């Protein structure tokens, strides 16, 4: 990033524009890894945007089946949202604890994050099971197909996140706060916070807008 106007570095200024770029060498691996993971997360968000577009297009195609306002329960969605928000906070606490290499707070933060993530998943699973048992499964109408694929895709991401969380706890337990473990922890925190951002879009677009009468 540093650009200085010092003269006399002819080899560093081949076009004689008076600017010498001091090369600092490649960025540390920590930055390269996190940046690459950030690009992956953005592509994941682009994939979710396709599901959102499908939902927005198909939300009215209920094929005489139930509308969103008839099947969504706002109270459950509010509890799910609070679970995810709190888990994002505890995940942040765990990553601070990992940075200062405090094992107790790291395990505590990750365990609470895991419990909140599992609570979210169990509420979502019960909602899906309830809908399917009432005959409102994904094959009932185009609207329900779009709903189950969008919300289910987010749920799959959360499930993968919980598995990753348990892996990180095991790795810290077995290997300690090594540099590579801390890089993985940083990527996990990014993943978990990004899932929260996607959930904000899900509850706003699917449950609040789609649930309006």
Partner 1 sequence: MSDLSQHGVHEHDLAPGEEEQHSVSTRIIGYVVGLVLALLLTATSFFIAGTNLVWQPSIPIAIIVLAIAQMGVHLVFFLHITTGPDNTNNVLALAFGLLIVFLVVGGSVWIMSHLNENMPSMDQIMRMQ
Residue 15: φ, ψ to 5°? -100, 5
C-alpha 204: how far from chain center: 16
* Cβ 181 vs Cβ 32: under 8 Å: no
182 lines the binding site for partner 1 (CB under 8 A)? no
Kindly give, in sequence order, each residue whose CB lies less than 8 Å from that of residue 50, ignoring residues fewer than 6 positions away: none
7 lines the binding site for partner 1 (CB under 8 A)? no
108 lines the binding site for partner 1 (CB under 8 A)? no
Residue span 51-70 as binding mask against partner 1, x where in contact by CB under 8 A, dash where not: -xxx-xx-------------
Nearest distance in Å: CB 104, partner 1:
14
* Cβ 168 vs Cβ 184: under 8 Å: yes
164 lines the binding site for partner 1 (CB under 8 A)? no
Contacting residue, 96, 112, 115, 153, with partner 1 by CB under 8 A:
96
Q: Could you tell me which residues are beta bridge partners of residue 3?
A: 21
Nearest distance in Å: CB 31, partner 1:
4
Q: What is the DSSP string of 79-140?
A: HHHHHHHHHHHHHHHHHHHHHTT-HHHHHHHHHHHHHHHHHHHHHHHHHHHHHHHTT--TTS
The interface with partner 1 within residues 23-42 (CB under 8 A) comprises 24, 27-28, 30-31, 33-35, 37-39, 42
What does the chain come to in residues? 213
Q: Could you tell me which residues are beta bridge partners of residue 20?
A: 4
Beta strands 20-21; 3-4: pairing state: antiparallel
- Give the whole-angstrom CA distance, residue 9 versus residue 11: 6
Contacting residue, 10, 17, 46, 174, with partner 1 by CB under 8 A:
46
12 lines the binding site for partner 1 (CB under 8 A)? no
Nearest distance in Å: CB 72, partner 1:
10
Give the residue with the Cβ less far from partner 1, 53 or 129. 53
Contacting residue, 7, 12, 78, 163, with partner 1 by CB under 8 A:
78
93 lines the binding site for partner 1 (CB under 8 A)? yes
Q: Could you tell me which residues are beta bridge partners of residue 4?
A: 20
| Sites of contact with partner 1 (CB under 8 A) | 1-5, 22, 24, 27-28, 30-31, 33-35, 37-39, 42-43, 45-46, 49-50, 52-54, 56-57, 74, 78, 81-82, 85-86, 88-89, 92-93, 95-96, 100, 186, 189-190, 193-194, 196-197, 200-201, 203-205, 208-209, 211-212
């Amino acid at each position: 990033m540093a650009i200085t106007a010092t003269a006399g570095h002819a080899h560093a200024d081949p076009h004689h524009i008076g600017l010498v770029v001091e090369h600092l060498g490649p960025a540390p691996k920590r930055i390269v890894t996190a940046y690459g993971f950030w690009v992956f997360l953005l592509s994941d968000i682009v994939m979710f945007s396709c599901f959102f577009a499908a939902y927005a297009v198909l939300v009215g195609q209920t094929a005489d089946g139930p509308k969103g306002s008839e099947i969504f329960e706002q109270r459950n969605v509010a509890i799910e949202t609070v679970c995810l928000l709190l888990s994002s906070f505890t995940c942040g606490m765990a990553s601070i604890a990992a940075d200062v290499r405090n094992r107790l707070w790291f395990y505590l933060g990750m365990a609470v994050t895991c419990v909140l993530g599992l609570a979210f998943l169990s509420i979502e699973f019960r909602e899906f099971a309830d809908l399917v048992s009432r005959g409102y499964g994904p094959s009932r109408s185009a609207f329900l197909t779009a709903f189950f694929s969008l919300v289910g895709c987010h749920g799959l991401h959360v499930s993968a996140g919980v598995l990753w969380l348990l892996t990180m706890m095991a790795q810290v337990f077995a290997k300690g706060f090594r540099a590579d473990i801390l890089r993985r922890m940083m990527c996990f925190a990014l993943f978990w916070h990004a899932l929260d951002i996607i959930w904000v879009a899900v509850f706003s677009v699917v449950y609040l807008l789609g649930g309006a009468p």
